């Protein structure tokens, strides 16, 4: 019934919005006209060429310079374009039955508005085909508007396509920035000069830079001149930021400028000042991050500014001054506003532990963008899934681009416009499901996690039953779809299969789980191999290798599933028994079901089946009443020092309150990124067992424990 209704709605929408012919429009074609200046003529030619290229009948698009002696050809609608830096707005539109006047302030706005014009014309006139780029974000009603932010970047894979970002009117780190992030070090690393590096506690360290070094300035200066010129033809951005650590140079010159062991702002801001003055047509930005969190004591030049991270702000909900983190953020904005008007934000719109599962971010993001605009922010970099594919990333790129131009834009309307344009048959199904996620989550008014696995998703916004109904509906539509829509829908379906497997893995048993309990065994359902094979299609897509920010791969993920399927079952006498936690749990790990749910952890990802504990000692207790015929305790841990995941320093076993065994760390066998041990115990000789696991001493030491497995060997 649901599929029938979806198809009916699609047909109805097509009938309602079907393009009309020239006789219904009231004119034969279009005359592109322009004012008497070189820039307007160039953009008029651009509009003429792209409009005529999309017309099967080339005679319906003409080009003509405006003059008193020559009027627009009768029966044609005039498309007049003017580009002038004197315009007080980013763009202006004046539309009537006979003439459409388009005025833009600069080349960037001109390019964007031209594609808006072509897109709108193609909707009304089926003689113009604009299916090769996204639907228009605006209609052509009379208006003059400024964009809400001057810097606008939705950092998703579609926006990183060189030719795509200009059509959306967005920025792109690949084309707009000469130096981005912490990459200033790459410029100087090729030079063998220790004075380029920070002096920390009397020693030069190559993991941080000396920003007061005269040679450092010269190397950056030559890099900019050689690669980007002086900015008089094309203006670029350059980020001047220390390496991503807490080290600060305290050489005599840096100290003279004001550096301390924890504050690098004085030397970094002085370098930004020098570069800004030397290259007045380029733009230089520092970051309010780590050792440069504090603003400088002087005002920055007009062609420089600061990037501030919003990572501490609650995501997905409306911001207000009563929230402590929002209040702190506003204080930070005010501190930096005292020295620069150019405040850009590094904002977030993804779950960085799971790029592939659909996540509703747009309703909450719109509220944040409105808040940022009202507080004087001039630019926003929205960190999405970057170069990796994520579900619905094309739609999110399109909608976020529109919101950064106009924070009052209608999100639902934009979503539906995109889906119906890009997915003519399945668009309504996709729009209805995605918008239901947005609407349901907005009603909860609860912040979402930037880092969270499927357990978090199911607790917050993802309804397993509704998702699987949607997943199966997509599967049903695939056989009746053809062409480019089929290719795009198949890619999305492949992505959604990851979510289907994650739901199976996390729920373990029951209708949507991957296994069936048979005594003390968990047996893998046969259909799971079909899902793994479907997900195996990821190899056809170069941007679908990873499923999260740190680079966990689908190759490893599917390999773990195949290994689980090959074993067919997992045996544990503790399956279904009660394990009692005697220690204070970490947040989100109040339940210890992960320790005996019959699901082995996947070694490549600590969110896949591992129980995490960061306290002083992990203590577990269970009864041996149903374990009388067993003799082995098997424990397995993650071992990833880079993430602070370490096997225990020691494991103590108590039987009926008395010490029974102690296993030292050197008896825990490490293979790759896991550690394990088998402990011989005759469970028939005791009624109660307590396991105590002591973490290793380290700056960060977390125990990631797999199943507490009881066997008879």
DSSP letters, 471-528, are: HHHHHHHGGG--HHHHHHHHHHHHHHHHHHHHHHHHH-SSSSSSEEEETTEEEEPTTH
Q: Which residue(s) pair with 144 in the sheet?
A: 92
Rounded-to-integer distance, Cα 204 and Cα 296, Å: 25
pLDDT at 472 over 90: yes
Q: What is the mean pLDDT of residues 423-433?
A: 97
Q: How confident is the model at residue 430 (pLDDT cuts 50, 70, 90)?
A: very high
- Which runs of E-coded beta strand occur in 545-631? 569-571, 579-581, 611-613, 618-623
Rounded-to-integer distance, Cα 598 and Cα 580, Å: 17
For 596-645, write each residue's pLDDT tens digit: 999 999 999 999 999 999 999 999 999 999 999 999 999 999 999 999 99
For 116-130, write each residue's pLDDT tens digit: 999 999 999 999 999
- Which runs of E-coded beta strand occur in 36-104? 61-65, 76-83, 91-95, 99-104
pLDDT at 522 over 50: yes
Mean pLDDT across the chain = 93
**Measured CA distances, 420 to 5, 137, 281, 404, 485 (Å):** 15, 14, 42, 22, 11
Pull the structure tokens for residue 542: 């170069």
> Residue 13: CB partners within 8 Å, gap ≥ 6?
420, 428
Long-range CB contact pairs, 468-476, < 8 A, 24+: 468/500, 468/503, 468/512, 469/2, 470/429, 470/433, 470/496, 471/496, 471/497, 471/499, 471/500, 473/2, 473/3, 473/6, 473/429, 474/426, 474/429, 474/430, 476/3
The residue count of the chain comes to: 713
Q: Using the structure block, give the residue that is written with the tokens 């390999």.
A: 559
Rounded-to-integer distance, Cα 202 and Cα 112, Å: 54
Contact 97, 78 (CB under 8 A): no
Q: What is the mean pLDDT of residues 2-20?
A: 35
CA dihedral angle for residue 7, residue 12, residue 17, residue 21, rounded to 10 degrees: 110
pLDDT at 384 over 70: yes
Pull the structure tokens for residue 613: 């504990």
User: Angle formed by the axes of helices 2-16 and 464-477, to 10°?
Assistant: 60
Q: How confident is the model at residue 24 (pLDDT cuts 50, 70, 90)?
A: low
pLDDT at 7 over 50: no
Q: What is the mean pLDDT of residues 216-225?
A: 97
Rounded-to-integer distance, Cα 155 and Cα 414, Å: 18
Q: What is the mean pLDDT of residues 149-164?
A: 96
Rounded-to-integer distance, Cα 258 and Cα 677, Å: 54
Report the alpha-carbon angle 12-361-476, nearest 5. Answer: 40
What class does CATH assign to 2-146? alpha beta
Rounded-to-integer distance, Cα 286 and Cα 265, Å: 9
Residue 405's SS3 state is helix
Pull the structure tokens for residue 113: 């508005």
- The maximal CA–CA distance of the chain, rounded, in angstroms, is 109
Contact 198, 209 (CB under 8 A): yes
Q: Using the structure block, give the residue that is written with the tokens 């003439």.
A: 99
The CATH code belonging to domain 152-444 is: 3.20.20
Sequence ranges of the domains in the chain: 2-146, 152-444, 463-571, 579-711
Rounded-to-integer distance, Cα 710 and Cα 713, Å: 10
- The confidence score (pLDDT) of residue 190 equals 82
Rounded-to-integer distance, Cα 240 and Cα 224, Å: 13
Q: Using the structure block, give the residue that is written with the tokens 């200046």.
A: 37
pLDDT at 23 over 50: no
Rounded-to-integer distance, Cα 643 and Cα 227, Å: 38
For 259-292, write each residue's pLDDT tens digit: 999 999 999 999 999 999 999 999 999 999 999 9
Closest CA to 525 of 538, 514, 509: 514
- The confidence score (pLDDT) of residue 136 equals 97
Q: What's the pTM value of the predicted model, to 2 decimals?
A: 0.93
Pull the structure tokens for residue 181: 């992030």
- Which runs of E-coded beta strand occur in 359-511? 379-383
Pull the structure tokens for residue 95: 């539309």
pLDDT at 15 over 70: no
User: Angle formed by the axes of helices 265-278 and 214-228, to 10°?
Assistant: 40
- Among 74-88, 344-358, 438-452, top mean pLDDT goes to 344-358
DSSP code of residue 696: P
Pull the structure tokens for residue 586: 């970490």
pLDDT at 27 over 90: no
pLDDT at 10 over 60: no
Q: Using the structure block, give the residue that is written with the tokens 């085909």.
A: 129
- The confidence score (pLDDT) of residue 176 equals 97
> Residue 548: CB partners within 8 Å, gap ≥ 6?
352, 353, 354, 355, 605
- The confidence score (pLDDT) of residue 12 equals 33
Half-sphere exposure of 115 (CA within 13 A, CB side): 19
The b-or-e profile of 364-386 (16+ CB within 10 A means b, else e) is bbbbbbbbbbeeebbbbbbbbbb
| Separation of first and last alpha carbons in the chain | 53
Neighbours of 170 (CB within 10 A): 26
Contact 585, 617 (CB under 8 A): no
Helix then strand count (H, E) for the chain reads 20, 29
Pull the structure tokens for residue 464: 């397993």
Contact 154, 397 (CB under 8 A): yes
Topology at the third CATH level for domain 579-711: Jelly Rolls (2.60.120)
For 666-697, write each residue's pLDDT tens digit: 999 999 999 999 999 999 999 999 999 999 99
> Residue 148: CB partners within 8 Å, gap ≥ 6?
369, 373, 404, 405, 406, 407
Q: Which residue(s) pair with 200 in the sheet?
A: 203
DSSP states along 247-302 = -----HHHHHHT-BTTB-HHHHHHHHHHHHHH-TTSEEEEEESGGG-SPPSSPPPT
- The confidence score (pLDDT) of residue 11 equals 31
Express as a percent the part of the chain with pLDDT over 90.
91
Rounded-to-integer distance, Cα 200 and Cα 217, Å: 20
Contact 239, 287 (CB under 8 A): yes
Rounded-to-integer distance, Cα 161 and Cα 134, Å: 13
Pull the structure tokens for residue 130: 């604009």
Q: How confident is the model at residue 531 (pLDDT cuts 50, 70, 90)?
A: very high
Closest CA to 571 of 529, 524, 539, 527: 524
Contact 381, 308 (CB under 8 A): no
């Amino acid at each position: 019934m649901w599929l029938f209704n979806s198809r009916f709605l699609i047909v109805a929408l097509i009938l309602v919005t079907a393009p009309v012919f020239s006789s219904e429009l009231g004119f034969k074609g279009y005359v592109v006209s322009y004012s008497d200046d070189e820039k307007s003529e160039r953009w008029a030619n651009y509009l003429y060429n792209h409009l005529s290229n999309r017309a099967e009948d080339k005679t319906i698009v003409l080009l003509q310079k405006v003059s008193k002696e020559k009027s627009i050809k009768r029966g044609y609608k005039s498309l007049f374009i003017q580009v002038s830096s004197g315009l007080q707005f980013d763009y202006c539109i004046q539309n009537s039955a006979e003439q459409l006047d388009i005025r833009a302030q600069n080349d960037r706005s001109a390019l964007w508005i031209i594609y808006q014009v072509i897109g709108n014309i193609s909707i009304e006139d089926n003689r113009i085909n604009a299916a090769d780029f996204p639907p228009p974000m605006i209609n052509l009603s009379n208006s003059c508007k400024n964009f809400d932010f001057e810097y606008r970047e939705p950092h998703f894979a579609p926006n990183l396509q060189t030719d795509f970002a200009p059509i959306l009117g967005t920025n792109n780190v690949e084309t707009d920035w000469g130096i981005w992030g912490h990459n200033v070090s790459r410029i100087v690393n090729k030079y063998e000069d220790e004075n380029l590096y920070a002096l920390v506690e009397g020693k030069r360290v190559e993991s941080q830079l000396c920003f007061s070094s005269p040679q450092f300035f010269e190397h950056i200066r030559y890099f900019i001149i050689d690669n980007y010129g002086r900015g008089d033809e094309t203006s670029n951005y350059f980020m001047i930021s220390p390496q991503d650590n807490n080290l600060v140079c305290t050489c005599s010159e840096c100290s003279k400028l004001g550096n301390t062991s924890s504050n690098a702002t004085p030397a970094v801001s002085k370098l930004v000042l020098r570069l800004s003055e030397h290259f007045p047509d380029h733009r230089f930005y520092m970051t309010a991050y780590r050792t440069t969190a504090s603003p400088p004591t002087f005002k920055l030049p007009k062609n420089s500014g600061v990037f501030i991270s919003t990572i501490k702000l609650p995501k997905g909900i409306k911001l207000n001054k009563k929230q402590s983190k929002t209040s702190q953020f506003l204080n930070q904005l005010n501190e930096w506003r005292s020295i620069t008007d150019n405040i850009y934000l590094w904002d977030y719109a993804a779950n960085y532990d799971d790029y592939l599962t659909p996540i509703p971010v747009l309703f909450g993001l719109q509220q944040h963008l409105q808040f940022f605009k009202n507080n004087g922010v001039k630019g926003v970099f929205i960190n999405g899934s970057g170069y990796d594919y994520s579900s619905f990333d094309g739609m999110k790129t399109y909608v976020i681009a529109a919101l950064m131009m106009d924070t009052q834009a209608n999100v639902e309307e934009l979503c539906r416009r995109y889906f119906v344009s890009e997915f003519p048959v399945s668009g309504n199904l996709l729009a209805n499901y995605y918008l239901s996620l947005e609407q349901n989550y907005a009603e909860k008014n609860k912040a979402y996690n930037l880092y969270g696995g499927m357990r978090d998703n199911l607790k917050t916004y993802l309804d397993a039953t509704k998702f699987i109904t949607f997943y199966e509906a997509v599967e049903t539509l695939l056989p009746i779809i053809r062409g480019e829509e089929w290719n795009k829908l198949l890619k999305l379906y492949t992505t959604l299969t990851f979510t289907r497997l994650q739901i199976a893995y996390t729920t373990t048993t029951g209708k949507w789980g991957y296994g069936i309990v048979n005594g003390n065994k968990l047996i893998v359902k046969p259909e799971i191999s079909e899902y793994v094979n479907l997900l195996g299609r990821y190899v056809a897509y170069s941007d679908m290798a990873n499923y999260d920010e740190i680079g966990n791969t689908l190759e490893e993920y599917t390999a773990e599933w195949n290994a689980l399927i090959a074993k067919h079952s997992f045996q544990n006498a503790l399956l279904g028994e009660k394990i009692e936690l005697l220690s204070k749990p970490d947040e989100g790990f109040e339940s210890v079901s992960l320790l005996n749910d019959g699901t082995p952890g996947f070694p490549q990802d600590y969110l896949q089946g591992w129980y995490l504990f960061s306290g002083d000692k992990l203590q577990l207790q269970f009864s041996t009443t149903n374990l009388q015929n067993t003799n082995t305790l098997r424990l397995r841990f993650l071992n990833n020092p880079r993430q602070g995941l370490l096997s225990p320093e020691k494991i103590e076993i108590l039987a009926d309150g008395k010490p029974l065994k102690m296993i030292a760390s050197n008896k825990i066998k490490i293979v790759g990124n896991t550690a394990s041990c088998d402990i011989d115990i005759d469970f028939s000789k005791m009624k109660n067992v307590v396991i105590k696991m002591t973490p290793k001493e380290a700056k960060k030491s977390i125990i990631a424990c797999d199943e507490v497995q009881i066997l008879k060997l």
